[in-house]
Amino acid sequence: MAALLWLTAAVPLLAAVLVRLLPRTAAPLTIGGAVLAAVPAWALLAAAAGDETARSALSWLPAAGFDVGLRLDGLSAVMSATVATVGAAVLVYATGYFADDERGPSALAGLLAFLAAMQGLVLAEGFLTLLIFWELVGALSARLIAFNRDDAGAPAGAVRAFLTTRTADVGLYLAVLALFAATGSLAFDAERPDGSLGAFIGLGLVLAAMGKSAQAPLQTWLTGAMAGPTPVSALLHSATMVAAGVYLLARSHELLAGWPLELAGWVGALTAVVGAAVALAQDDLKRVLAGSTTSQLGLMFVGVAAGGPAVALFHLVVHAAGKATLFLAAGLFQHNRHTTALHGLVGAGRDDRRAFALFALGALSIAAVPPLAGFWSKDAIAAAAEEHPAWFACVLLSAAGSAAYLLRPALVLWREEAEPGQLARTGRTSMLGGAGALAVASLLLALVGAPLTTLLDSEPLPSSLLSIGLSLLALAVGVAAVLRPPRLPAALVRAARDQLGVDAALRALVQRPTLATGSGLDLADRHGVDVLVHGIARTVRRASRGLAVADGRVLDGAVDGVGRTTLSVAASQRWVEERGVDAAVDGIARLVGAGGRQSRRLQSGRLHEYLRDTVVGACAIGVLVALAALL
């Protein structure tokens, strides 16, 4: 079982490497790698259905109890199978989408690597492993969004997506650090600390989920991400990037107990309505679908808060298949018309009826038309939210909005046009095959609700006559709003098209203050720090020049003077030694020698000389005695 866990992530990664090394065989390698990657994922799902669990971890820092590894349980098995299945369909589609693109192998390798990173995220054994793959998913998504070099908006969209999600990721880091500080563990099932620390952990997790799942007011990056290729949008908006936030809430559900879980519910309820309003006002098909994704993810947040992980996960799986189908069908229209603007897609559905049939199936499911899967998954959320009247009302409003914002482009696509367009044939078979597989899944996923609750060991999915009746009423209201559109103030429509002022608020509250702070720091750097540093440098240079002058004129002169003085003193000492000390010594030696020679005469042996000397000595003594007496 451990081998299957690692193969689920390793197979698409190996395929990505092979695609880069062998670009001429990129298409078969991509299809083979994506399909093979789904095999261990489905094997894991079958094992989890048999109540089997597994864990494979490597000890990173044993002293701290840090492990890096993968695990199998009901939640990870469902997510892994969803990621693998949607990923395989999208990658089959992508081989046709990039058939004429010289950089197609690079895109396919990026999609495979992104798929591998997402598998690592959903199979993560604990928060440490999750953080590693969480960052990889964010980095790879930015790379894929910026793929179109000819689109000036692609780099900006990638940067916005990366910075927005990275800012929210601070919450995840703080939550994980607080959890480790309180419990000494980074396991998903770590006990939630009491008091404010536990609430702080929950708040950080909710913030991180908001960023990844594009919840208000952090939803604007998702619209900018539409600059990426359509297969990238399909994968990001269905089972991977944006689904990671909902998965985080489901995985850490016990750590969110209390008001953090309530906060997630309120954020989701408001975002469901905001996303629907934004989608209704867009004039580009991919932007309509981006707003739809934001709204549907908001419903999943409500599902987690009101009904638990099983309710949210059911809608996540259903939405993944339906939304990927919509994006892939939109890519077919884009290939035919070379645009995704609604005014350029008038009649595109009549030109390409197969693509329109796929689009219609995905739209019917996401719009919650019975008996498709989307109806039952959305009804479970509505029924769970009945105890929260405000959330319940938002769910119904978003349900009406989903019917409206998906019927509106469908009518544009089916509208008759004077001159029919031409179908793009290159890669069409692969594109239709990938989109068709997901459309079929949208028809069958209504059957997975009960098995899903068994896998997750949860209560049966909630349902009630009230929620079903009001959901049908909301569906009818949404259809009526498109067929007989009400007159709305132009200012309100413009506000919805501009993300209800969120972009302007972010510019005013974040972008401009950040730029102003950067400009201020730049001015301080150039006119303060730089001036100070240059002044210090000039002072040091002047001091160095002064020291050089002092060294040449003063120090060298002093040293030379000391040398000359020392030589003079040495010469004087030599003169004294030669003329004084040596002369004195020599004189004393001569005197002693002369005395010695004279003293020999006192002992000559001649008697008369002895008598003479005696007489002379006696006389001398007499004289001295006389003189002494006189004195």
| Of residues 352, 237, 353, 254, the one with CA closest to residue 288 | 237
Q: What was the pLDDT predicted at 232?
A: 92
92 token code pair: 């089959």
In sequence order, what are the residues at sequence separation of 6 or more whose Cβ sits closer than 8 angstroms to the Cβ of residue 235?
Answer: 86, 87, 90, 111, 114, 115, 241, 324
Q: What was the pLDDT predicted at 149?
A: 81
Measured CA to CA, the distance from residue 58 to residue 68 in angstroms comes to: 5
Structure confidence by residue, pLDDT tens digits, 81-132? 999 999 999 999 999 999 888 899 999 999 999 999 999 999 999 999 999 9
425 token code pair: 């044939």
Measured CA to CA, the distance from residue 37 to residue 14 in angstroms comes to: 10
Q: What are all long-range contacts of 475-478, with beta carbons under 8 Å and residues at least 24 apart? A: 475/367, 475/368, 475/369, 475/399, 475/400, 475/403, 477/400, 477/403, 478/367, 478/399, 478/400, 478/401, 478/402, 478/403, 478/404, 478/407
Q: What was the pLDDT predicted at 268?
A: 96
Q: What was the pLDDT predicted at 153?
A: 83
Q: What was the pLDDT predicted at 30?
A: 95
In sequence order, what are the residues at sequence separation of 6 or more whose Cβ sits closer than 8 angstroms to the Cβ of residue 341?
Answer: 283, 284, 285
Q: Does this model's pTM top 0.85? A: no
- Asked whether the beta carbons of 408 and 283 are under 8 A apart, the reply is no
Q: What was the pLDDT predicted at 615?
A: 80
For the chain, the C-alpha Rg in angstroms (whole number) is 46
Give the residue ranges of the chain where pLDDT is below 50.
Answer: none
